[in-house]
């Protein structure tokens, strides 16, 4: 792990583990592993180049009790340079990012794991649950089989007893897995959290809880007497990724927003590309299964996501994705062009942010578009371009008319391709 120059990549050296009690490990299948995985990023902790100097075969062993997230930290190495100001203080640097009081004695930590496994219970209010077969490797499915594992989502605030301390133990995952992620100010009012846990039964039937991931939400004032809830951070730990847990957590957040009369809409702060795809897929599935919305939107035709949002790009567009249109037999409120008053009424009812809702509507219209209906195709193109022009006005206004039209068409084609990509994933 270290070269001849005594340098080590900090992301390779840092090993993370979610440690379960001995009895809980008995309930795991042979292919389930929650220990010894690595972070995606360590530059917020160890610097932009993610290099540590002064060690050979460096291992930074950071373990968490799988439910309570009590921490253990150990730094091991084969060789270390003689004391020098240039040798990095590996533990000292990391200790600034985790709560004090972490264990450094392995036996003491393992005793804590055994104790916490029995005593730890999620903080806050249960807002969502689902089941997933241990053999399922894609999306969760509702199952009543005895081997199905249950997952629960809890809503909590920093005012809930014990949650501020718990949040300080889990927030390091934001630095390790979200690019440009940073700690929030937990003395600031307005923060809410939704935390996802695996609820696993022991052989004697007793349930224990294991941390899967979480999202932080922030309340903004929305005139005149409501709030806008902004999704700020969202992370699912690597052992649980690609199983559909991110979608379940997002759906739990969305339904929580719908349940609160004082919340006007759900927004997302600077979403990463992967999260925006997840958001699009789930929002589209929600709309496609909303019978009244689809019936009003497309009259007698039936139905069933994108990222980037149509920002002007200088590069080439993606390769085209083919999606068979459903056709638009009846003239519903979706048009094209869409009935704006109707769309705004539904946007408010569904509590979806403006730009996101407009993109979703455009995707659904594209899905229904009849390729031989030239008039509808033109109306759709103009509808999308109008939104793109408003969204990119400051950039486009600086261009000459011919170049502006060319850039707008290029952006439209890129957005259309991306819509087809998302639609192909949803259907």
Give the catalytic positions in this structure: 269
Cis peptide before 337 (omega within 30 of 0): yes
Query: Which of 226, 162, 203, 366 shows the shortest CA–CA distance to 284?
Result: 366
Q: How far apart are CA 375 and CA 421, in angstroms?
A: 24
Q: Indicate left, alpha or beta for 238 from its phi (over 0: left) and psi (-120 to 50: alpha).
A: alpha
Please give the C-alpha separations between residue 239 and each of 7, 69, 114, in angstroms, as whole numbers: 28, 15, 21
CB atoms inside a 10 Å sphere around CB 26 = 10
Q: Which residues contact 92 (CB under 8 A, 6 or more apart)?
A: none
Q: Which residues contact 250 (CB under 8 A, 6 or more apart)?
A: 215, 234, 278, 279, 282
> Which of 66, 80, 196, 37 lies closest to 132, judged by CA?
196
Residue 36 tokens read as 């010894």
- Cα separation, 219 vs 366, whole angstroms: 34
d(CA 169, CA 164): 9
In the chain, what are the helix, strand and coil shares in percent, each to the nearest 5? 40, 20, 40
User: CA–CA separation, 132 vs 198, rounded Å?
Assistant: 10
CA-wise closest residue to 43 among 76, 8, 11, 13 = 11
Q: What is the token pair recorded at 247?
A: 């979608």
**174 in Cβ contact with 181 (< 8 Å):** yes
| Rounded alpha-carbon distances, angstroms, from residue 382 to 6, 337, 377 | 60, 8, 9
Q: Are strands 125-132 and 59-65 parallel, antiparallel or unpaired?
A: unpaired
CA distances 282 to 31, 198, 289, 291, 305, Å, are: 29, 21, 11, 16, 8
């Amino acid at each position: 792990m270290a070269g001849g120059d005594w340098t080590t990549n900090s992301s390779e050296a840092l090993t993370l583990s979610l440690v379960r009690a001995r009895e809980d490990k008995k309930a795991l299948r042979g292919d389930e592993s929650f220990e010894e995985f690595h972070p995606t990023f360590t530059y917020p902790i160890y610097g932009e180049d993610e290099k540590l100097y002064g060690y050979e075969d460096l291992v930074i062993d950071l373990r968490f009790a799988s439910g309570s997230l009590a921490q253990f930290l150990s730094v091991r190495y084969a060789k270390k340079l003689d004391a020098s100001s240039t040798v990095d203080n590996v533990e000292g640097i990391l200790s600034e990012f985790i709560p004090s009081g972490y264990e450094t004695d392995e036996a003491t930590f393992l005793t804590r794991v055994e104790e916490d496994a029995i005593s730890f219970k999620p903080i806050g209010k249960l807002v969502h649950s689902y089941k997933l077969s241990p053999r399922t490797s894609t999306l969760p499915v509702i199952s009543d089989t005895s081997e199905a594992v249950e997952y629960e989502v809890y809503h909590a605030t920093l005012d809930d007893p014990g949650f501020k301390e718990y949040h300080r133990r889990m927030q390091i995952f934001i630095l390790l897995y979200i690019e440009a992620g940073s700690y929030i100010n937990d003395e600031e009012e307005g923060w809410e959290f939704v935390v996802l846990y695996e609820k696993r039964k022991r052989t004697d039937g007793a349930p224990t809880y294991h941390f899967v991931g979480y999202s932080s939400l922030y309340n903004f004032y929305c005139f005149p007497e409501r709030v806008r809830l902004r999704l700020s951070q969202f992370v699912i730990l690597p052992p649980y990724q690609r199983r559909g847990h991110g979608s379940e957590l997002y759906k739990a957040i969305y339904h929580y927003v719908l349940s609160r009369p004082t919340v006007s809409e759900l927004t997302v702060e600077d979403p990463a590309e992967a999260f925006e795809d997840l958001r699009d897929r789930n929002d589209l599935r929600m709309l496609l299964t909303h019978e009244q919305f689809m019936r009003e939107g497309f009259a007698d035709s039936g139905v069933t996501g994108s990222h980037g949002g149509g920002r002007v790009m200088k590069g080439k567009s993606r390769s085209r994705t083919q999606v068979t249109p459903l056709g638009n037999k009846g003239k519903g409120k979706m048009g094209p062009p869409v009935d704006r008053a109707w769309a705004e009424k539904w946007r408010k009812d569904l509590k979806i942010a403006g730009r996101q809702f407009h993109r979703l509507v455009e995707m659904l219209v594209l899905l229904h578009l009849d390729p031989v209906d030239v008039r509808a195709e033109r109306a759709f193109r103009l509808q999308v371009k109008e939104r793109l022009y408003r969204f990119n006005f400051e950039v486009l206004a600086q261009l000459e008319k011919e170049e502006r039209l060319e850039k707008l068409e290029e952006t439209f084609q890129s957005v259309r391709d991306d819509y087809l990509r998302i639609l192909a994933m949803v259907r």
